[in-house]
Amino acid sequence: MEVILYIAALLAVIAFIVLVVYVVITLKATKETLNNVSNTMQGLEKQIQGVTTETTQLLNKTNRLADDINHKSAKLDGLFEGASGIGDTVKDFNQTLRQLSNTVSRYSKEDQEKAAQAVKWGASILEYWNKRKRK
């Protein structure tokens, strides 16, 4: 009976050793997997740092570009205001020319009648003069 007890104890020890071996194999595989995950996370962290740096630079360039566009847009506002002033000046000039043209036209009509009368009087005087010369 003692032999059976030793055999049972030996089987228990062998089972325990097999269990420990499988646990050790599992722990080594888990350790290797965790090392791979750690390496992947370190690489990912470096890539994220690079992306963050590039994003920050891009954001700074975008802000400078926006400031430059705002500055140039403000300069163009003055140009458009000047062009608007030129347009108003041309409009006023056209209105003044129109008034001058109307005034000249009106006076020319009045003077035309006077000139026609003067020509008639001049023709009458010449005719009278010529008649008197002939006589």
The per-residue pLDDT for 24 is 97
Q: What is the pLDDT of residues 36-80, one digit of tens each?
A: 999 999 999 988 988 899 999 999 999 999 999 988 888 877 777
Q: What is the pLDDT of residues 99-109, one digit of tens each?
A: 877 877 776 66
pLDDT for residue 81 is more than 80? no
Rounded distance between C-alpha atoms, residue 133 and residue 135, angstroms: 5
Confidence of residue 17 (pLDDT cuts 50, 70, 90): very high
Helix (H, G, I), strand (E, B) or coil at 92: helix
Predicted TM-score of the model (pTM): 0.43
What is the four-CA torsion angle of 37, 42, 45, 46, rounded to 10 degrees? -140
User: By C-alpha distance, which of 40, 59, 39, 62 is closest to 51?
Assistant: 59
Dihedral angle sign, alpha carbons of residues 55, 57, 58, 60: positive
